[in-house]
Structure 1
């Protein structure tokens, strides 16, 4: 999470959406940088609403903070998680996807009780508006970087370049039509939210 206090902007870091590269480029310009632990670095909107927003409003007397996040196409997002969990250093752990096909991974993700290797959360849940009206003010597609970068450069008044960071291993991914249909049915909120991003 990055907080640009003067610009009244909070960047919420959805995992597997290129946020590490953005944070590396923009951390020097942020008033607050939360890079650890992962539960705070990747604080979803509901956690921002519960802890950070009240702090800004009560302690800092600021209630006009806007939020920004990036969302990745749902199948691509799951593919990134699958590849990330192929790394050798987690081989043998319950979260490893070594020896598991992408079909098996996605099928496991659609279950109510997900095994550890497929328990990667939900972008829709991460970004879900809160009952008090707190919501993501600016939402961008991972696959369409120019509008995001232009917004950040204009809003922050800085020029920057992104370097690739935290890149997952290259693995060929294919999803069978049956599993894709099941994913789209069981996780419809993910696709519906992504389709609303203009």
Structure 2
């Protein structure tokens, strides 16, 4: 998470949406950089409003807006699945090393997924707790150029994005019945992505 004081802007770090690269480019320009541990770096909107916003307001800051990116849900899940296949997670409950992508997505679509498929919700991350989007400026990961253009204009700077924290490539196949189940059970994920600027 990055806070830009003069510009009254908070950049939320939705996991697996290129936020590490954005942080790498803009951290020197930010007044507050919350990067570690991951629970703080990736604080969702509701937690930001509960803990970060009061801190800002106590220091005399007001009128801050939020900006974030969300990723197409199947692609987002694919990034998580590939990320959790890495060597250092082998044998861990979160490892997807021996889990086919189809099974990972099927588990994610359940009410209580297996630990390896428990990766949160983009809709909940950017939501305001009432089933609607709470982030002021929401962009699609797939249209990163629009997010970058917004940040360049808002911050009055040029941004060169490095490629950081990229999950290794691995083939992903998703049968129609699993894709349909995902859309039915996790409809909010697709609705949020559709509503973002693309």
Q: Distance in 2 between matches of 1:174 and 1:159?
A: 38
Question: What is the CA–CA distance in structure 2 between the aligned matches of 1:135 and 1:175, rounded to whole Å?
Answer: 31
Displacement of 1:61: 2.3
1:159 aligns to what? 158
Match of 1:176 in 2: 175
Residue matched to 2:22: 22
Q: Does 1:103 align with 2:98?
A: no
Contact 2:183 2:190 in 1 (8 A): yes
Alignment of 1:26-175 (within 5 A): 26-57=26-57, 59-130=58-129, 135-175=134-174
Q: Would you say the 8 A contact 1:86–1:169 is kept in 2? A: no
**Displacement of 1:130 after TM fit?**
4.4
SS in structure 2 at match of 1:144: helix
Query: What runs of 5+ residues in structure 2 fail to find an aligned partner?
Result: none
Alpha-carbon shift at residue 193 of structure 1 (Å): 1.2
1:135, CA displacement in angstroms? 2.3
Q: What residue number does 2:184 align with?
A: 185
How do 1:7-18 and structure 2 match up within 5 A? Answer: 7-18=7-18
Separation (CA, whole Å) in 1 of partners of 2:96 and 2:168: 12
Q: Check the 8 A contact 1:49/1:134 in 2, yes or no.
A: no
4+ residue segments displaced more than 3 Å: none
- Number of aligned residue pairs: 196
Deviation of 1:98 after TM superposition, in Å, equals 0.7
Task: Give the distance between the partners of 1:89 and 1:39, measured in 2 at CA.
Answer: 20
Deviation at 1:134, TM superposition (A): 9.2
Distance 2:63 2:110 in 1: 39
Q: Structure 2: how far apart are the matches of 1:3 and 1:49?
A: 13
Maintained 8 Å contact 1:109/1:119: yes
SS in 1 for 2:142: coil
Give 5+ residue unaligned stretches, structure 1.
none
Distance in 2 between residues matched to 1:134 and 1:169, nearest whole Å: 31
Q: Secondary structure at the match of 1:70?
A: strand
Q: Distance in 1 between matches of 2:59 and 2:49?
A: 15
Cα separation, 2, equivalents of 1:105 and 1:134: 26
What's the CA shift for 1:197? 1.8
1:8/1:65 contact within 8 Å kept: yes
Distance between the aligned counterparts of 2:140 and 2:103, measured in 1?
Answer: 26
* Distance (whole Å) between structure 2 residues aligned to residue 134 and residue 190 of structure 1: 11
